[in-house]
Structure 1
Amino acid sequence: MHKRRSLVKPMLITTTTGYILAAYGPYLSDSSNNDASIQKDILVNNKDGILNWIDEHDIVVVDRGFRDSTGMMRALGLDVCMPDFLNGRRRFDALEANRSRFISKIRWVVESANGRVKHFRWFSQTIQNSTIPQVRDYLQIACALINAYRAAAISSFSNDDQIAAEMLACLHEPNLLRTRLNNEILHWTTNDASNIINFPILTIDQIRVITV
């Protein structure tokens, strides 16, 4: 329940480009139907023949909400990528944080696909209970239209391999800022970049290199 209204939710499976492979649901949005439970239902019941089009060692990228279904996915031979958990700690170590960033850099296309569905006005408003039996059909029609007429959420560029190589090279890099904060006593000050001599002016390409 949210804002005194009953909610239903779908689940989308997408490729890394945002192409929607399958749309499941709607599921009643309650404590019994979290992401992991829905994923288990899809796999156990082989919804839409999903087990026929996944292969051993296919990589599945999910968020932490799928924690309780990772065992089933691995039992089916899938390689699961999911961000780490703090488990009572205050922060991740550098490797865990970098791995989580890797996953986020891929998984955002799922949120993009969900957002595209909500661009259809019918899905962004309150719907009548009488239309619930048709929600699945409407959802699949919307997803088909998105696949047919919307551009991919992410496009390939000539330097994709270079970016991937640089990311992998940085995976095991230590957190130098954290090291400095631990070893030095630093204080925040207020300043204006225009008053700092030789403050760097970066081009968009230089910013892309820094933020890989």
Structure 2
Amino acid sequence: MPFFLGRGEKQHSVEESNTTRLVTKLRWIVESINGRIKFFRYLDKVLPTNQVPHIRDYVHIACSLINRYFKPMNIGDPEADELLGAKMLFLSKQINELKNKVENDGLDKRSYKWSKIDSTDFDIEFPRLNEEELRNLTLGTYQTEDGKIIHRRTL
């Protein structure tokens, strides 16, 4: 279950954020499957109580039709998915160097010293990432608020 902010809290801790990301990654797959099952109008609504004994049969029928006529959800490699999961767990346990820098340098305080700069003050080259490097950095699929998938990696 993802963490929720308590009263007066403005931000999750690093550990809570990492755990929530891991839960969200897993829940996205589950909700995608649920969305396919709810494609069938009868299963998209609350069923009458006299239908409870038959729900399992209805879901089996719906899933059989989905498996036969829909594109598969999982076209990936189970070993690669397992490695991705292990990588996500490993990275979630690492020390957050950016958080440490923000706290140590007092960058989380509300007082700032602004100074004028222009492009000649810095010689920064931003990296250009290919699709594989971007996939490794983002660890898979992410969705925008309007529902568009930024990078699709089917699981």
- TM-score range (shorter-chain normalised) is 0.5 to 0.7
* Contact 1:95–1:171 (Cα < 8 Å) also in 2: yes
1:120-173 deviations in Å (ceiling 9; x for gaps): 4x4599x8xxx9677957555323312444344234425334323322221222
**Percent of pairs with identical residues:** 34
**Counterpart mapping for 1:62-211 below 5 A:** 82-88=1-7, 89-120=9-40, 122=41, 136=55, 140-157=60-77, 158-182=79-103, 183-184=106-107, 185=112, 198-211=125-138
For 2:34 and 2:83, locate their aligned partners in 1 and report how far apart those are by CA, in whole Å. Answer: 29
In the alignment, which residue of structure 2 is the partner of 1:15? none
Deviation, 1:202, is 0.8
* Contact 1:94–1:172 (Cα < 8 Å) also in 2: no
* Contact 1:94–1:174 (Cα < 8 Å) also in 2: no
For 1:165 and 1:186, locate their aligned partners in 2 and report how far apart those are by CA, in whole Å. Answer: 42
The structure with the greater share of residues assigned to strand is: 1
TM-score by length of 2: 0.55
Deviation, 1:207, is 0.5
In the alignment, which residue of structure 2 is the partner of 1:18? none
Counterparts in 2 of 1:145 and 1:96: CA distance versus 1, 3 Å? same
1:65-102 deviations in Å (ceiling 9; x for gaps): xxxxxxxxxxxxxxxxx223333332221112111211
For 1:116 and 1:209, locate their aligned partners in 2 and report how far apart those are by CA, in whole Å. Answer: 28
In the alignment, which residue of structure 1 is the partner of 2:151? none
Aligned residue-pair number: 119
In the alignment, which residue of structure 2 is the partner of 1:17? none
Instruction: Return 5+ residue gaps in structure 2 as ranges.
Output: 115-122, 140-155
What secondary structure is seen at the aligned counterpart in 1 of 2:34? helix
Counterparts in 2 of 1:139 and 1:163: CA distance versus 1, 3 Å? closer
Instruction: Return 5+ residue gaps in structure 1 as ranges.
Output: 1-81, 188-195
For 1:160 and 1:99, locate their aligned partners in 2 and report how far apart those are by CA, in whole Å. Answer: 18
For 1:186 and 1:209, locate their aligned partners in 2 and report how far apart those are by CA, in whole Å. Answer: 36
Deviation, 1:210, is 0.8
- Once the two structures are overlaid, the 10-residue window that deviates more, 107-116 or 147-156, is 147-156
Counterparts in 2 of 1:161 and 1:113: CA distance versus 1, 3 Å? closer
In the alignment, which residue of structure 1 is the partner of 2:119? none
For 1:173 and 1:167, locate their aligned partners in 2 and report how far apart those are by CA, in whole Å. Answer: 10
| RMSD between superposed Cα atoms in Å | 3.7
* Contact 1:83–1:99 (Cα < 8 Å) also in 2: yes
